[in-house]
């Protein structure tokens, strides 16, 4: 009799221990899901912050590009005006005036070259920032999807499904 009762008690203890471990495991799942949810929300916040920052950079680069395009146009007009004046001086035989205009032409060419380089750099920056914004938006979509999945997991763990 004692052996039978002892075996029943032993079986009951093992089953109780197994049940408590299983319940504890479920609690750890909920805890882990909550932690994942917090981390995904934090990632989403950081991605949105990066998107705003990259969008500001993109807008600034576009302003710089437009300014450089205006400078190129202005330098081209100045260059054409100086060439006309130089040719007029040469036609009239004024070599000193033609030399001064040639100096101004060389200066305008350097400015034009510098503005074109700046324009290319701004276009590269615009392209790079646009890619960054796209990548950050993809990350934000992924984080939102992860949040949905974590919330679903939390619901399932709480309700034992």
Q: Which own/partner pairs from 61-67 qualify as long-range (CB within 8 Å, at least 24 positions apart)?
A: 61/122, 61/125, 61/126, 61/129, 62/122, 62/126, 64/118, 64/122, 65/119, 65/122, 65/123, 65/126
**How big is the chain, counted in residues?**
161
Residue 142, domain extent: 2-159
CATH number at residue 63: 1.10.287.620
Question: Lowest mean pLDDT: which of 6-15, 95-104, 137-146?
Answer: 6-15
| Closest residue by Cα to residue 43 from 150, 136, 133 | 136
Please report the pLDDT score of residue 66 as a whole number: 93
pLDDT value, residue 18: 67
In the chain, the number of structural domains is: 1
Helical ranges in the chain per DSSP H? 2-92, 95-159
Ramachandran assignment for 154, one of left (phi > 0), alpha (psi -120 to 50 degrees), beta (any other): alpha
Model pTM score: 0.62
Q: Which tens digit of pLDDT belongs to each residue from 62-89?
A: 999 999 999 999 999 999 999 999 999 9
């Amino acid at each position: 009799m004692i052996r039978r009762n002892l075996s029943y008690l032993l079986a009951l203890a093992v089953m109780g221990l197994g049940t408590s471990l299983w319940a504890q495991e479920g609690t750890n799942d909920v805890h882990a899901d909550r932690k994942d949810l917090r981390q995904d929300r934090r990632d989403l916040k950081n991605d949105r912050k990066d998107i705003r920052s990259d969008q500001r950079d993109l807008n600034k680069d576009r302003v710089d590009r437009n300014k450089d395009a205006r400078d190129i146009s202005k330098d081209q007009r100045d260059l054409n005006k100086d060439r006309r004046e130089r040719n007029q001086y040469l036609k009239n035989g004024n070599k000193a005036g033609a030399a001064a205009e040639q100096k101004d032409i060389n200066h305008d060419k350097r400015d034009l070259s510098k503005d074109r380089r700046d324009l290319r750099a701004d276009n590269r920056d615009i392209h790079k920032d646009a890619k960054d914004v796209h990548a950050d938006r993809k990350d934000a979509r992924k984080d939102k999807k992860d949040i949905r999945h974590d919330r679903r997991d939390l619901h399932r763990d709480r309700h034992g499904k």
